[in-house]
Every structure is written in C-alpha cells, then in structure tokens.
Structure 1
Amino acid sequence: MANKPLILAFFIFLPLCLSLPLPELPELPRVSPFAFLNDLQGCKKGDNVKGISKLKNFFHYYGYLNRRTNVTSYMNDDNDVFDDHLEFAIKTYQQYFHLNPTGTLNPETISQLATPRCGVPDIVNGTTGRLLFEHDDDDDDDRVHHYHLPHVVSHYAFFPGKRRWPSSKYRLTYAFLPSTRKDAKAPVTRAFATWARYTHFKFSLTTNYKRANLKIGFYKGNHGDGYPFDGPGGTLAHAFAPTDGRFHYDSTEKWAVGAVKGRYDLQTVALHEIGHLLGLGHSTVKNAIMYPYIKSGTTKGLNADDIKGIKVLYNRR
C-alpha cells in the first residue's frame, strides 16, 4: 500500500450480538491499535454499538468503504450504526482475503483484521480517481476494480495509472536516515539485491540522504508525511509509489533480523515495501511478498506472483 500508504485500526463491543456462544479468541494486548477487536466479535447488520465508527474509518482508509455525504455535504458515516454499507465493506474485505463473505464480524474475520500489516491501501474508491489495476491472465487488458469486487483476481496489483520509474531511470540510489538502527541496514541491502536479481534495476547505497532516489528511515507517530504510525502491533511500515521514494518503518514495533518469535523480520518487510517503491500494489496471493499482512516470527521471500507482476509492470519477459 493511490500514492498512499499506511494506517491504523479499531474495535468495538456488542454484548449480545449473537444468540449462540462464539469461539473464544486469544485476547489482544490493550496497547495494540487493534485491541478494539477484543470486544467486536459477533457484530452484524442492525447493531448499534459504540465504536462502530472506528471500524468504518479503518475500512474507509483501506478502500473497502465509500465515504457518503448527505444533501448538505456533511459526512454521514461518522456513527456507530452497522448499516448496509458496512456489511458490504466487510463482505468485500472477506472476499479479498478469501474468507467466507458473511458480512458479519466472525472470529476468522477478526483474526485477519487483528494481524499487523502494511499501511498501503488494498483497493481504492473510483470516485476519488484513485484506482488499482489487477492483471488477469485471460485478458490482455488490465481490469479496473472499483469499490465492488464481483470476484477477486488472485494476482499482483499496480498503483493507479501503473506508476513506475521511467525507462531511463534504472540505476537507483538508496540511503538511510542518519538515525536508522544499524541492524536494519544489511537486511534492507539484501532486500534490494533480491529485487535486483529479478528486475532491470541496479541499486547502490549512497551517503547523500537528501539526493538519494530511495530514502529509508524509522519513524513513530505523526512523522510529517500525512500518515502517522499507530504504535506497536498495528501498521508495521509503509512506502510510496514511484517516483516518490520514501520507505518508513514504524520504530515502535519489535524488529529482528530473521525469524524471531514475537518480532518482525526487517528484511521481509523491506522486500514488501521495496515492491511498493517500484510500483507494485498489494497481492491477494497469501504466499506473495506483496500480500499486505505479515506475521511475527516468520520470514518470506519473493513469490512467482511478485516476479511476474514486476515484469508485467515494466513490460519485461
């Protein structure tokens, strides 16, 4: 995650949403930006629960919910009503991530929502002019998906207008913010080398941060790019589409080199965010590096879907 990245999440409670007992979920730490999900399971259309508006904000940011206005042009989604629009947004989200599209906040949907992720939106509302393009092998043209997804093409995606680096710009320099933690530099460098093996790009490290094509740094909270980080356990990182070049880690997350229990691998996240820097959007293929969710204690490399996507974007075989 249309030159937009990141964002936060939210949760709610409805004591008697369902008449039947629901499976127990592991309780999320209250400090997590996703902790509201502790109280959310079982909510469905027709419920009116304090906090539903937070969930609407989450779905709006990631592209699943349109902002609606009334005749006086005021937002009318700032309420706690679980309405038709929210149900549709949840079904779209479930469909995108290959879940049963019930339109309710069942345990598997809550579990998916609670997983830390990249802050770049998944899909975009066509009325804002921000569209994502997905490629379908059965058609030579790119298909534009608006708010509704009749079915999800399990493939790579691109930013609106297929934003990419010009053909003359294949030698890209990258630099680290001076305050960048030392243990992150080697993993990020390895991530650039991995992408270089499957693309025409050549990446080189420079000490001139201001003039570098790609800029990597660690930030927290509101850090001046319009997309504040939300603290531990939420948005892990975000990056911007070509040719912006910014890639930001959330410094408050627990980072590690390699698969360390309870921590996030610096190189895996770098591989994902560099994909955005080069022009790839999110993939619905779970094993792809461009899948938006990342689990702690794991590592991941490029998938055939990622490689094919970057080759299609730059018209290379």
Structure 2
Amino acid sequence: MLPCRACLVSVLLLLLLLLLRRPLPVSCLHVATDAPLTATDHRQDGKEWRSFQQLLDARRGSRVAGLAELKRYLARFGYMHGAEHEPTDAFDAHMEAAVRRYQSTLSLPVTGQLDSTTLDRIMAPRCGVGENGHGVTPVSLTAAGTGSQAAAGAVSRFTFFKGEPRWTQPDPLVLTYAISPTATVDYLPAETVRAVFRRAFARWARVIPVGFVKTDDYYEANIRVGFYVGSHGDGIPFDGPLGVLGHAFSPRNGRLHLDAAERWAVDMDTETAHSAIDLESVATHEIGHVLGLGHSSSPKAVMYPSLSPRQKKAALTVDDIEGVQWLYGPNPGFSLSSLYQQDSSMATGRSNWLAGSASIVCAVLIILVTQL
C-alpha cells in the first residue's frame, strides 16, 4: 500500500503545481487572444506579409539581407526618422532608434534588437494607420493619466489624430453610415456584414452620446464602408492577405476601407481557414479611427494596431472607452466605474478559486502523509 500512497502523493503534488501555473481567466473587457505568430512559425496561407524571419537577432552593426525592406516598413508606420534616402541592409544607429521606438510604442521589451517578440509583432497583420505619422494623419500620444475617467494610478495609453479632430454638430450627434453595395466580398451575405457593423457601431454608441444610423444613400453617408483590393483610389493601396487589414480616415472624412483580399470571417467556430481575420474586431477598430482615436499602446485594447489571424478582440477595454470619452464625453447611461468593479471582482474570484483549490489539495496531502 505504501508505494500506492506515495504515487498518489506525487500525483497530487503535480496537480497543485498545475493549479498554481494555470493562467488567469480573462475578463469580458479584455478578450482572450490566440497565441502570437512566431518568427519560426510564420503563416503559410495566401500571400504573406513579407517575412522578416531571417532578421532574427539582428542588432546594431549587423548587415542582413532584408533590413532595407524592414526600414521601409518602419518608415511607413512612422518609426524611421533621419534614415538614408535609399535604405540599405545595414543595421545602423537610425535603425536601432526606430526599433526602440517601435518596441516602446507597442509595449514590447525595449532591446533595440530584432528579438523574436519584436519580429512576431512586426509580421502580424495590422491596421494601415500609422502610430507616429502616416499618409492619412499623424497621431500624438496622450500623456499618462490625462483621461478624465482614469482610475487612480492608471496609465492611459490611447492616442488621437493630430489636432484631436472629432465629429461635431448640434445635439444630438447622430452619424449616418452606409456599406458599399458594390465594394463587397462575395462569400459573406450582405445582411451578415450589416449585422457585424450594427454590433460594432453599437459598442461605441453604448459609451458615448453618439448615435449611428444606417442609410442606403452611400454617397451622402457620414461614414462609408467598403471592401477593396490593391489600389482603390485613396492613395493608400492594400497589399494582399495578411498584411494591412484595413484603414480609416480621421473625422470628418468618414472613409472606412477593408482589404477584400483577406479571408474575412464572422464565426471562428465554423470558419476553417487558418488565415481567417475576424471582421467584427477589425470593424470595431476602424470605427475608432473614424471617431478620431489613434492607436493604443495597450496590447489588450481594441485600438492596438495589430490582430493575429483567428483572433477575436472586439470588446472595448477601459483604455478604448477613456479615449473616445475624452473626445465626446461619457454616455449618461454608461458608467466606467462598473467596469473597474467588474475587473476587480473577477480578479478576486480568481484568487479565491486558486486559494480554495490549493487548500483542498494540501489538506488531502496532509491526510495521506500522516498515514504513510
């Protein structure tokens, strides 16, 4: 009997270790994300965003084929300043500074090197609006804690387009939107796409005093949505699957464009494509730009610039809400304090669950050990 008891003790110890290592449950505000793409397990479906995996561990002083292309990427999204007119494959001081800016802005470890975490983020599909300057309008970072609804000690990571443009008109503020009847994707029914955008607009309308009404008059709508391939007339061409997913213009332009070359999905439970992109997540993100928000440096925020294939991230976080309320004020029917309380209660529940589970295992261990 003793060996059996010893085996049981070992099993219970293993269970206790697994309990202690079990990840925290994710609150309804911070939607769980898929595991990020890695530099050694890059996506294989469709036309890839240019792979930079050969640049892994490159640092200042390196010269690696492909660095010139990465410099163009960093310049496109506003990180490369003072670089040579024709980029080379040399990892120089300008390149190191750009990598550091990129890492700091996207809340990555600031190493100045092309480590796997940084390359994973660079190779992930993303929004076409830049963080520190772009062909649409540059954004400016908001000082930490300036959000009027910020919790004590919280750091606000939201940003705005330069000049903080917003929609204004006599109260109540109601914006019309229309989805192009011609710029579509043939595998998604029109009503399915309309339903996705109804939900996406409703998320923002819940937290700010702005209404959104669908109209059939596409050219007269305040916000105009369409799916396009490649060059589509706005000077910012799309690049095919798993690169730039979409882009939107600041108020009061109203254009919201999605890359029709992506494999758009509305239900990942039934979607089989590994490269599928969640339409609702991208729609919610791009509406944030239409309202005047830039990108957030919080990886959990809807307004974070990148989104992995099959990742669902459509629920607004506190950071998203504080940012849009800075522009439009809070909706009288919505309270941010309830969200803070919800986060706190879920964290408390997790702690209590873990403590209770550990106590039960420990109690069983004590009983078994005393009988050996």
Gaps of 5+ in 2: 1-37, 149-154, 332-372
Once the two structures are TM-superposed, the CA of residue 37 in structure 1 deviates from its matched residue by 1.2
Which amino acid counterpart does residue 174 of structure 1 have in structure 2?
Y
- Partner of 1:108 in structure 2? 117
Which amino acid counterpart does residue 145 of structure 2 have in structure 1?
D
Post-superposition CA distance 1:79-120 (Å, at most 9, x none): 222110001110111122222212111111111111111111
Distance 1:292 1:110, change over 3 A: same
- 1:287 is matched with which residue: 286, 300, 309? 300
Post-superposition CA distance 1:208-244 (Å, at most 9, x none): 1111110000001111111111110111111110000
Once the two structures are TM-superposed, the CA of residue 38 in structure 1 deviates from its matched residue by 2.8
Once the two structures are TM-superposed, the CA of residue 76 in structure 1 deviates from its matched residue by 2.9
Distance 1:55 1:292, change over 3 A: same
Aligned residues: percent identity? 39
Instruction: Give the number of equivalent residue pairs.
Output: 275
- Partner of 1:212 in structure 2? 221
- Partner of 1:43 in structure 2? 58
1-structure distance, mates of 2:42, 2:141: 37
Secondary structure of 2:142 counterpart? strand
**1:197 paired to 2:210:** no
1-structure distance, mates of 2:88, 2:39: 28
Gaps of 5+ in 1: 1-22, 69-74, 141-152
Once the two structures are TM-superposed, the CA of residue 295 in structure 1 deviates from its matched residue by 1.9
Write the mapping of 1:113-262 to structure 2, written as runs, cut at 5 A.
113-124=122-133, 130-137=138-145, 154-168=156-170, 170-179=173-182, 180-181=184-185, 182=190, 183-259=192-268, 260=271, 262=274
Q: TM-score, normalised by structure 2?
A: 0.69
- Partner of 1:146 in structure 2? none
Which structure has more relative contact order (CA 8 Å, sep 6+)? It is: 2
Distance 1:286 1:192, change over 3 A: same
Q: TM-score, normalised by structure 1?
A: 0.80
- Partner of 2:85 in structure 1? 76
Q: Is the 8 A contact 2:131 2:138 kept in 1?
A: no
Greater mean alpha carbon deviation, residues 166-175 or residues 30-39: 30-39
- Partner of 2:33 in structure 1? none
- Partner of 1:88 in structure 2? 97
Greater fraction helix: 2
- Partner of 2:327 in structure 1? 313
- Partner of 2:7 in structure 1? none
- The CA RMSD measured in Å over matched residues stands at 2.4
